[in-house]
């Protein structure tokens, strides 16, 4: 399989996803949850037979369809936009009119200041992860491998963010955890291929670089595909049967893992080839 020779085709495929992602991020932005924008959290106790979906249905009466509802045994955490005292009282009354034995436990607000601080920390976490990976790969291999790996990571992050922006899926702190996991997974897959490239370079320095890269990718292809498939099947099961509470977290992981496997094979090595030729 002539991956390096056909690299422009894979660049075009990536651009088909990246350009709409960038346009959506510029004009629609991201649908940030209350962890970032601020909002209200109500903690109540209801009969354990009631599900989170039942509570969300009741919340639709107050036009709070986008509120997050987390269940822990018979306790529920309702995260919504910032509510006034009157709206909080109405929310509690709505729950009591729909369900029996509703007990109010606590209510608090997350201010916009805390939300902006969390946003800053999330961005710093992603940047720190990228810089540390660049340093590690540059130290273990060489700087050209590090730059190619970081470009592949940015490719993955942009596509995942773009999908969430296009569909306006809500982003919370769990999404940041998913993105860091995706970055770790992607870099691991990329390092496996780069490690094989380095081994083949040591064994045969006279081989044409494009052919050596193709051979290295093919030698690790089965491992990359098997790894992403086993992860994807597990995540798909969680997406279908794991409930609404974790669906966006799982969706980010699933998209990121698939895109990460693609970029490790079809983007990282061709980009390294481009950098090496120009260097």
- Segment 198-228, tens digit of pLDDT: 888 888 777 788 898 898 899 988 888 888 8
Residue with the larger pLDDT of the pair 22 and 71: 22
Tell which CATH classification among 1.20.1050.10, 1.20.1640.10, 3.30.470.10, 3.40.1440.10 matches the domain 7-33+114-278. 1.20.1640.10
251 has a pLDDT exceeding 80: yes
* CATH fold of the domain at 39-110: Alpha-Beta Plaits (3.30.70)
Give me the chain's average pLDDT, please: 85
d(CA 258, CA 159): 11
pLDDT of residue 113: 55
Query: Is residue 247's pLDDT more than 90?
Result: no
Q: What are the residue ranges spanned by the domains of the chain?
A: 7-33+114-278, 39-110
The DSSP H or E segment spanning 170 is strand 170-171
Dist. CA 48–CA 175, nearest whole Å: 28
Cα(141)–Cα(124) distance, integer angstroms = 25
Query: What dihedral angle (degrees, nearest 10) is formed by the CA atoms of 104, 72, 168, 32?
Result: 60
Q: What is the pTM of this model?
A: 0.80
Q: Are 33 and 171 in contact (CB under 8 A)?
A: yes
pLDDT at 118 over 70: no
DSSP codes of every residue in 18-79: HHHHHHHHHHT--EE-HHHH-EEEEEEE--TTS-HHHHHHHHGGGT-TT-EEEEETTEEEEE
Residue 218 phi/psi, 5° resolution? -65, -30
Predicted pLDDT of residue 254 = 94
- pLDDT given for residue 112 in this prediction: 58
CA distance 51 to 90: 20
């Amino acid at each position: 399989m002539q991956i390096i020779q056909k690299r422009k085709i894979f660049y075009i495929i990536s651009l088909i996803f990246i350009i709409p992602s960038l346009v959506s991020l510029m004009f629609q932005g991201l649908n940030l949850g209350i962890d970032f924008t601020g909002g209200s959290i109500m903690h109540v106790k209801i009969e354990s037979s009631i599900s989170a979906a039942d509570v969300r249905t009741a919340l639709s009466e107050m036009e709070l369809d986008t509120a997050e509802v987390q269940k822990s045994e018979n306790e529920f955490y309702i995260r919504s936009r910032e509510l006034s005292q009157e709206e909080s009282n109405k929310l509690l009354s709505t729950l009591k009119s729909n369900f029996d034995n509703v007990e109010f436990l606590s209510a608090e607000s997350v201010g916009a200041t805390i939300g902006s601080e969390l946003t800053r920390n999330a961005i710093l976490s992603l940047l720190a992860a990228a810089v540390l990976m660049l340093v590690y790969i540059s130290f273990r291999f060489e700087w050209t491998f590090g730059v190619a790996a970081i470009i592949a990571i940015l490719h993955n992050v942009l596509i995942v963010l773009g999908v969430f922006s296009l569909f306006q899926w809500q982003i919370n702190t769990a999404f940041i955890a998913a993105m860091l996991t995706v970055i770790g997974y992607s870099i691991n897959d990329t390092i496996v291929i780069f490690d094989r490239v380095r081994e083949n370079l040591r064994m045969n320095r006279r081989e044409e670089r494009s052919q050596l890269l193709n051979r290295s990718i093919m030698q690790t292809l089965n491992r990359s595909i098997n790894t992403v498939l086993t992860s994807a099947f597990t995540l798909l099961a969680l997406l279908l049967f794991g409930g609404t509470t974790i669906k966006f977290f799982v969706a980010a992981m699933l998209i990121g893992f698939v895109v990460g496997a693609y970029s490790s094979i079809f983007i990282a090595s061709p980009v390294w080839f481009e950098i090496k030729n120009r260097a």
